[in-house]
Structure 1
């Protein structure tokens, strides 16, 4: 498999190249393999998709700028369908930027303000994990509801007891 992965990375497949890094005696300047990339666990997807057919980094950057301008408009003037389409098209650019450079949240909010909108956050989670975020969150919340209620009741009565002792 290692030889196969090497051939794939040399041919330009980004999925394989994301974890590639050759640091050896013959290439001392090379990055260490998996530098700043955590090992994918069970169920996680760590990949760099290729750009859509006919798109380049420049065209995707223009779409990103157009999307930012649309999002800066008032709520009634926004073209949400256009914003959603641009978010789908620019997924590869966004994913490449996040995986390769790992920018801080403030820079992400500046470059991709639409990304932090609730509906687009749900869509992005679905693009990466193929799961429905609100459904999985509420299912997990429902699973742990009895333990949480016990904890809250215990804390609430503890606070009441302390308050009554102070009076």
Structure 2
């Protein structure tokens, strides 16, 4: 035995005590998975607790100063009417930034179906808003990350050029426009 099991148990205990202190202080990420704060409409609240996976965070930022769930719900309803108007992207962007905490808490706690979420937040499904929401959550630009990954994988695409037969011809018609761009 190398003694690592004792260290592991000690760290696990310290983390549990730390999470207990955070829960008592009202930290949203920790409160989210407690049985006391689960919605009453769920049949078995204890079974509905979502366990975080490796490197997964239930990121729930606090509401902006002076805002409550009711005021942010009013902002969401106002946002629904703003989406129908033209040439007001800046106003929509500001309202989406303001309601981020409310929207994030709804996603993490309630886990709505996509069509329900799309009906409640139609402005989020605009290309510019998708990029902004990704950056709010991860602090990384979605497009630059996507293009970086494509650049890394572009060398591996050359394997498909050597393919023969009917599949090779089909892949060649797909790959020709990509080769012209590069």
Equivalents in 1 of 2:29, 2:156: separation in Å? Answer: 41
* Length-normalised TM-score, structure 2: 0.72
RMSD: 2.4
| Structure with higher RCO (Cα < 8 A, 6+ apart) | 1
Aligned residues: 149
Task: Give the distance between the partners of 1:160 and 1:7, measured in 2 at CA.
Answer: 60
Residues 62-71 or 2-11, more deviating: 2-11
- Native 8 Å contact 1:63 1:86 kept in 2: yes
Partner of 1:53: 65
**Residue 82 of structure 2 is aligned to residue 70 of structure 1:** yes
C-alpha distance 12-126 of structure 1, shift in aligned 2 (>3 A): same
Instruction: Give the alignment partner of residue 148 of structure 1, picking from 147, 157, 160.
Output: 157
Unpaired stretches in structure 1, ≥5 consecutive residues: 23-28
Residue 133 (structure 2) aligned to one of 121, 124, 140: 124
2:67 partner SS? coil
Distance 1:113 1:89 in 2: 15
Contact 1:70 1:78 in 2 (8 A): no
Residue in structure 1 matched with residue 16 of structure 2 by the alignment: 2
The corresponding residue for 2:119 is 110
Look up the match of 1:26.
none
Q: Report the equivalent of 1:19.
A: 33
In 2, Cα distance between the equivalents of 1:21 and 1:11? 16
Match in the other structure for 2:92: 83
The 8 Å contact of residues 57 and 93 in structure 1, kept in 2 or not, is answered as yes
Unmatched tracts of structure 2, length 5 or more: 1-14, 37-43, 171-182
In 2, Cα distance between the equivalents of 1:53 and 1:84? 18
> Take 1:86 and 1:108, find their aligned partners in 2: how far apart are those partners?
17
Q: Could you tell me whether the CA contact under 8 Å between 1:45 and 1:129 is conserved in 2?
A: no
Superposed structure 1 runs of 4+ greater than 4 Å apart: 160-163
Are 2:72 and 2:99, in contact at CA under 8 Å, matched by a contact in 1? yes
